[in-house]
Structures are given as structure tokens and as C-alpha cells.
């Protein structure tokens, strides 16, 4: 009897040992597969779809970045322009690609987050995986010099003259439009929006007296600010600009923030493996630390504002909720 019990116990111990060994082998195999996937990527060039025309700021920013990761990745990064839909065409095509890390898109917060709430673009923020935030540009409010001294002066005039302030942004439901409309809602003023995709043309209309205000990204004002042709009344940033130190933040001017800016980042299909994503992100991060890239972007009046996948994802979640709320307040949220 004792012998039988001993044999049963021994058999049980052997089975347990085999089971544990099997688990260990499976775990080792999984780790090996993950390392292999990481080691094998990339085996071919990586494509970045840009939803804007060649020669524009977004295109130039992407192309100056694209050369930098090549030595790290051992493969070329190829930029393909696919303009249309405010950047949505490039994003939609990239998201329809195989989620293997070889097809990404440069997206703006307008194209990635705002457009899905106002038109049928075929995706939402849940359909893509954030790769890296590249640059985050504050928005400014400017008037012709001599028109208003402060944002408070402009708001006072707008309260007394509803609808008389005509202002331009790059387009309906653009992030500068959302920024200004949220201010109008908070201040209980009525403004007259005049969209214009051409910032130089908007500035010309401002100086010619055809509009009273222009709301675009801060770098757009650089030359006319330096020549004192326009006065920048406020910036959306949480701190003053080093290039325009006398421009107050919105919080300094009015005691509240509207944290809306213009940013660009890289995204890809939602199912890109994390190990593959980590490889590309590491190459981008190294590229963003390159002084030559920073200098090139500085000439384009873009700053380096790198965020990795996790932090970028948190920013997207926060911004997505903010934009949805503002669009709802504006009454332009898609039914």
C-alpha cells in the first residue's frame, strides 16, 4: 500500500515538474518571439503619409524628420503626400494599412480629433495608435496695430457691438476657430467668423481693414509682429513666447485658460505591436534630440515637443474630450 502511494506521489511530482517546465518553455518562446519581432523590424522602408501638399509646413517638418531615424532603423523613411479632407485622407489610408509598423501618418489635432466629430472620415480617436507627438504650436489673437490695446478692450467693444468683430481663422472647425469660439462663449460675445485657408491673405485683409482680428498659430505673426504692423493680444500657451515676450497669455489677460493649440504627431493603425512601436519611437526620440533637426525646425518656426506613445495617448484622450465639448457648445457636433 505504501509503495502504491509512493508511486502515485512520485508520478504527481513528475507531472507537476513537466507542467512547470512546459510553462517555462512557452514563456521563453513568447519572449524569444517578441525579441525576434523587435529585432526583425524594420526589414523594409517605413512610409509616412502626410495629409498636406508638398512644400507646406507640415510636409517640411516631416521631411526634415524623416532623414534622421534612418541610421538607427537601418531603413529609409519615405514621405508620401496624400492631401485632402484637412489631413483626414492620409490618416484614413494609413489606418487601413496592415498594422505592421510600415505605414504611419502625420496627423494634426484637427484632422485626427476634430474632423471625426464634424464629418464622416471613417475613423475616430479609438482607431489609431499614437506613436509620437512632434510639435505643439500655441495659437495667437492679433489685431491691426492701433485698433485695440488689450484683449479686454476688444471684448468690451464686442459686447457693445455684437457681430461687428470679423475674424479670420484657417477654416471652419479648425482648432484656432474652436479656440476663439470657446472664448466667445465664456465672454458671452458674438463674433463674425470669416474662414480663410491662406494666413498671408488673412493678414493682408487684416491690414487692409477688411477684418478686425486674425486667430492663427503664433509663428504666423512673427514678421508683422516684428514690424509692429499687428498687435498680438494674447496666446493660448501657458507661458509667454520667447520670441514675443510682451504678448500675455490668455490666463494673464482674462484669468482662465483655453488649452487648444495646433499640434502634429505620428499615428498608425491601432493594432501595431508594442515592440514594433517601441523600435520606431526610440528612433524618433533620438532624432528629436538632434541639434540639426532642432535648428531646421526653428527656421520653419516649429518647436520640438516630443511625447512618446503613452504620454501622447494621454494628451489625445484629454484633447479629444475638450474638442467634443467645445463643438457641442458651438452647435457643430455631428448628429
pLDDT in tens, 241-267: 989 999 999 999 999 999 999 999 999
The answer to whether residues 237 and 249 touch, using CB atoms and an 8 Å cutoff, is yes
Helix (H) or strand (E) holding 180: helix 175-187
Q: How far is the CA of 9 from the CAs of 4, 16, 185, in angstroms?
A: 9, 11, 77
pLDDT at 166 over 60: yes
Mean pLDDT across the stretch 202-229? Answer: 96
Packing angle of the helix pair 175-187, 151-160 (nearest 10 deg): 70
Average of per-residue pLDDT values in the chain: 89
Phi first, then psi: give them for residue 306, nearest 5 degrees. Answer: -65, 135
Residue 18 reports pLDDT greater than 60: no
- Domain coordinates of the chain in residue numbers? 46-137+262-330, 139-254
pLDDT winner (highest mean) among 5-9, 22-26, 52-56, 322-326: 322-326
pLDDT at 55 over 60: yes
* pLDDT (0 to 100) of residue 38: 52
- Could you tell me which residue, 216 or 16, shows the higher pLDDT? 216
Residue with cell 500657451: 237
Per the CATH hierarchy, to which homologous superfamily does domain 139-254 belong? Periplasmic binding protein-like II (3.40.190.10)
pLDDT in tens, 37-53: 455 899 999 999 999 88
pLDDT of 300 reads: 86
Are residues 323 and 114 in contact, defined by beta-carbon separation less than 8 angstroms? yes
pLDDT, one tens digit per residue, over 270-329 is 999 999 999 999 999 999 999 999 999 998 888 999 999 999 999 999 999 999 999 999
Name the strand (E) or helix (H) holding 134.
strand 128-137
Question: Sign of torsion, CA 221 186 177 117?
Answer: positive
Edge-to-edge strand order for the sheet containing 103-108? 77-81, 46-50, 103-108, 262-269, 128-137
Distance CA 116, CA 266 (A): 17
Half-sphere exposure of 327 (CA within 13 A, CB side): 22
Backbone angles phi, psi at 249, to 5 degrees: -75, 160
Mean pLDDT of 128-151: 96
What is the model's pTM? Answer: 0.85
3-class DSSP assignment, residue 147? coil
Tell whether the model's pLDDT for residue 33 goes beyond 80: no
Q: What is the pLDDT of residues 263-278, one digit of tens each?
A: 999 999 999 999 999 9
- Asked if domains 46-137+262-330 and 139-254 share a fold, the reply is yes
Q: Which pLDDT score, from 0 to 100, does residue 16 have?
A: 38
Residue 299's pLDDT is: 87
335 confidence band (pLDDT: 50, 70, 90): confident
- 177 vs 253: CA distance, rounded Å: 19
Ramachandran region of residue 45, left (φ > 0), alpha (ψ -120 to 50) or beta? beta
Query: CATH assignment of 46-137+262-330, given 3.30.1370.10, 2.102.10.10, 3.90.1150.10, 3.40.190.150?
Result: 3.40.190.150
pLDDT, position 314: 97
pLDDT tops 60 at residue 11: no
Q: Answer whether residue 215 shows pLDDT above 60.
A: yes
The percentage of the chain sitting over the pLDDT mark of 70, rounded to a whole number, equals 88
Mean pLDDT, residues 169-194 taken together = 97
- Residue 43: its pLDDT value, please? 96
Cα separation, 5 vs 22, in Å, equals: 26
Amino acid at each position: 500500500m505504501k509503495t502504491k502511494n509512493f508511486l502515485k506521489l512520485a508520478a504527481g511530482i513528475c507531472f507537476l515538474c513537466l507542467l512547470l517546465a512546459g510553462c517555462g518553455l512557452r514563456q521563453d518562446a513568447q519572449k524569444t518571439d517578441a525579441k525576434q519581432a523587435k529585432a526583425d523590424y524594420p526589414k523594409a522602408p517605413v512610409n509616412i503619409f502626410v495629409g498636406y501638399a508638398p512644400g507646406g509646413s507640415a510636409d517640411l517638418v516631416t521631411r526634415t524628420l524623416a532623414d534622421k531615424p534612418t541610421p538607427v532603423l537601418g531603413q529609409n523613411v519615405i514621405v508620401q503626400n496624400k492631401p485632402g479632407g484637412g489631413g483626414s485622407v492620409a490618416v484614413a489610408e494609413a489606418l487601413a494599412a496592415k498594422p505592421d509598423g510600415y505605414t504611419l501618418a502625420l496627423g494634426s489635432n484637427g484632422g485626427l480629433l476634430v474632423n471625426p466629430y464634424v464629418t464622416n472620415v471613417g475613423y475616430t480617436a479609438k482607431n489609431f495608435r499614437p506613436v509620437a507627438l512632434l510639435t505643439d504650436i500655441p495659437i495667437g489673437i492679433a489685431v491691426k496695430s492701433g485698433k485695440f490695446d488689450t484683449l479686454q478692450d476688444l471684448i468690451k467693444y464686442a459686447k457693445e457691438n455684437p457681430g461687428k468683430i470679423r475674424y479670420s481663422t484657417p477654416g471652419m472647425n479648425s482648432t484656432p476657430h474652436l479656440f476663439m469660439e470657446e472664448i466667445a462663449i465664456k465672454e458671452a460675445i458674438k463674433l463674425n467668423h470669416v474662414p480663410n485657408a491662406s494666413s498671408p491673405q488673412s493678414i493682408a485683409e487684416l491690414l487692409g481693414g477688411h477684418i478686425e482680428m486674425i486667430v492663427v498659430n503664433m509663428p504666423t505673426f512673427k514678421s508683422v509682429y516684428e514690424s509692429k504692423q499687428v498687435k498680438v493680444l494674447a496666446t493660448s500657451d501657458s507661458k509667454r513666447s520667447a520670441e514675443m515676450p510682451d504678448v500675455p497669455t490668455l490666463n494673464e489677460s482674462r484669468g482662465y485658460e483655453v488649452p487648444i493649440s495646433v499640434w502634429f504627431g505620428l499615428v498608425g493603425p491601432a493594432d501595431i505591436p508594442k515592440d514594433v512601436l517601441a523600435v520606431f519611437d526610440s528612433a524618433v526620440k533620438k532624432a528629436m534630440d538632434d541639434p540639426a533637426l532642432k535648428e531646421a525646425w526653428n527656421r520653419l518656426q516649429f518647436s520640438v515637443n516630443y511625447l512618446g506613445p503613452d504620454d501622447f495617448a494621454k494628451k489625445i484622450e484629454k484633447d479629444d474630450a475638450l474638442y467634443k465639448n467645445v463643438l457641442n457648445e458651438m452647435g457643430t457636433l455631428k448628429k
